[in-house]
Amino acid sequence: MSPSRSLAGRIEERETQLTQESPDGLTVTLSTQEVVRIFEEVAPKKKGRIVGIGSVNEVARTTSSYTSRRDEETTQMKAQMDSQKAQIDSQQVRLDSLEDLLNVMAVGNPVMQRMLTERRAALGMPPRDPKSPIQPVNSRATPPTTSTI
């Protein structure tokens, strides 16, 4: 077996071992220092010196495939996060609409107003001023505009 093949095999074995031991289950890529250490173990030596500088190029090709895999995983995770954020935003719009509906239903109903006030307090939400007109949740962040007729 050539030194470059045994080097690639050792690197792959070590990364597999570290990935299996990883608590988060993500693929582990060896540091440059770790790759150099493995290279020094498997590279042929002549008169106490490491021979086969051409093998270093093989190491670079071997580790670059892991980098591209990591990039693919990162891209996939970002796409999943974007999708989940869109779902959360959609659910927030629905919840805001439901809150608006409950506010409208509570007008003139003291029991329901008390229940909504207690629920807001339990959830740590700011209390709504019962004297203010019902304002849709989505428009609360923007100040009211005045129109000239």
pLDDT tens per residue across span 37-81: 888 788 777 777 777 655 454 444 455 566 777 888 889 999 999
Report if residue 15 sits inside a domain.
yes
Report if residue 137 sits inside a domain.
no
Report if residue 10 sits inside a domain.
yes
Rounded Cα distance, 121 and 95, in Å: 17
Q: How confident is the model at residue 142 (pLDDT cuts 50, 70, 90)?
A: very low
Count how many domains the chain has: 1
Instruction: Check if the beta carbon of residue 110 is closer than 8 Å to that of residue 76.
Output: no
Pseudo-torsion of CA 98, 100, 106, 112, nearest 10°?
40
Report if residue 141 sits inside a domain.
no
Could you tell me the residue range of the domain that residue 29 belongs to? 3-128
Written as one letter, the residue type at 124 is G
Rounded Cα distance, 96 and 103, in Å: 11
Report helix, strand or coil for 46: strand
Report if residue 147 sits inside a domain.
no
Report if residue 105 sits inside a domain.
yes
Report if residue 134 sits inside a domain.
no
Q: How confident is the model at residue 147 (pLDDT cuts 50, 70, 90)?
A: very low
Report if residue 14 sits inside a domain.
yes
